[in-house]
Amino acid sequence: MKQAAPFKRATVFQYEGVPPLGQMVPLGLQHVVAAVVGIVTPAIMIAGSCGITGADQTLLIQVSLLITAVATLIQLFPIGPVGSRLPVIMGISFAYVPTLQAIGEQFGLPEILGAEIVGGIVAILFGIFVKQIRVLFPPLVTGTVIFTIGLSLYPTAIKYMAGGVGKPDYASPKSWLVAIITFLVVLVLQNFGKGVLKLGAILWGIVVGYLISIPLGLVDFSSVGQAGLFQVPMPMHFEISFEPSAIVSLAIVYMVNAVQTIGDLSSTTIGGMDRMPTDKELQGGIIGQGLMSVVGAFFGGLPTASYSQNVGIITVNRVINRAVFVFAAIVLAVAGFVPKIASLLTTIPQSVIGGATVSVFAMITMTGVSMITSERFDMRARTVVGLSVALGVGISQVSGCLAGFPDWVTMVFGSSPVVVTAIMAIFLNLILPKPKPESV
C-alpha cells in the first residue's frame, strides 16, 4: 500500500500552506493589534456625529469588526472576479470619516448607508475599468486628496482630546491630561519602541489612557453589563435612505480611495513578493472593496478600504502566508459576535481616542505629502496642490459662504474639503501644461 507523502509545514514567507502555530498566532495577532483601532474608532466617531448611543453604537462596532473579517477573507479567497488573492487586511477606514461626519451631522446614518451603497457600486465600476480611469488619478492628485483628508481630521482629533463636544468633561483639565498622556505613550513607543510595542503603539497608548481614565471617573461601565454574550447582527436593523447630495460627495471619496487601494496592493506585492500586482489582482481587490461596502451597508457597516498600516508590516517582515491573515480575520470575527467586547470598546473616553488617533491623522497627512513629492515637485505641481487645498479647505471652513445656493450645493461642496479638493486637483492636473522633458 502506497504511503501518503508526509505533510510539510509552509514557511511564513510562502503564500500557500499552514505555518507552525507558534509562528502563525503571534504574527496574526500583530495584524489584529495594528488594525483594531482603525476598525472600531470610525464607528465610534460616526455614531457620535449621528447621535447614536447605547445598543446601536455597540452594534455599529460589532458590524465593523465582522465586515473587516469578511472583507479580508474575500481578498484572501476570491470568488470569481471579487478579491485580489493577496495578503491584505481590508476593513473600515478613516479615509471616509470627514465626509461621513458631514453627512451624518446634516442628515443621519440612513443617508450615510444609502450613499455607501451607491459609492460601493462606483468602486466596483472603478475596479472593472481601472485601466481607463486610473489616468485621472496620478500620485499628484491622489496625494493632494489624501493630504486634505488628513488636514480635515485634525479639528476632530482636538475636539476628542478635549473630551468630546457636549460631554460633561469637555475642555476640562482631566480630559486634556488623559489625552496628553495617551499621546505621549503613542509618541514614545512609535519612535523608541521595538517589535510589538512599536507596531501596536496606538493600541498600547489607548490601554494606558483608558486605565488612567477609570479612577478619574471618565469611564462608565453600565452599558457593558447590559450587553449580551453572543449576537448575530441582522440586516436592515438601520434604515437606509438615498440623498443625492450625500451620494455625490461619498462617490468621489470612493474613487480616490480606490486609487489608494492600488497603492496599498502594489506596496504589498513589491514589499512582500518582489513584483508588481497584475491587472486582475488590482481589479479583484477594488471590486471586493466596493462589494463589501454595498453588503456592509445593509448591516450598518461603514465603507471599507485596505489598511496601509498592515501593508507596512508586510513590507518590513515580508510575511505573506495566507493562514496568518486568516487567523487575524477569525480573531476579528469572533470579537464581532460578542456584544460585550464591542460594548466595552464604547466605554473608551473620547479624550483617549483623540490622544491616540491624532498621530494616525498626522500619518494620513504625511502619506499624502509623500505621494505629492514622489514625482517632480515643480511650479505646476505646487499650483495643483496649493489651489486645490486652498479652495477645498477654505470653502468648507467658512460657514455660509455658499448660502446663496441650494442646500444640495452646500452639502456636496461645502461640508467637507475632500470633494472640492478632488475635483480641482483632477481639473488642474488635466488642463495645466506639463513641462517639456529636458533634452540630454
Q: How many domains does the chain have?
A: 1
Q: E-strand spans in 3-88? A: none
Q: Residue 281: which residues within 8 A CB-CB, separation 6 or more? A: 84, 85, 86, 265, 269
Q: Report if residue 439 sits inside a domain.
A: no
Residue 12 within any structural domain of the chain: no
| Domain of residue 305, residue span | 21-429
Dihedral in degrees, nearest 10, Cα atoms 316, 317, 321, 326: -70
pLDDT in tens, 72-127: 999 999 999 999 999 999 998 888 988 999 999 999 999 999 999 999 999 999 99
Asked whether residue 5 is domain-assigned, the answer is no
Average pLDDT of every residue of the chain: 88
Residue 438 lies in a domain: no
Q: Three-state secondary structure along 311-351? A: HHHHHHHCCCCHHHHHHHHHHHHHHHCCHHHHHHHHCCCHH
Rounded Cα distance, 244 and 251, in Å: 10
pLDDT-derived band at 2, boundaries 50, 70, 90: very low
Residue 434 within a domain: no
pLDDT of residue 1: 44
Above pLDDT 70, what percent of the chain? Answer: 96
- Residue 15 covered by a domain: no
| Coil vs helix vs strand at 260 | helix
Residue appearing with cell numbers 510575511:
319
Please give the pLDDT value at position 5. Answer: 43
**Cβ-Cβ contacts under 8 Å for 225 (sequence gap 6 or more):** none
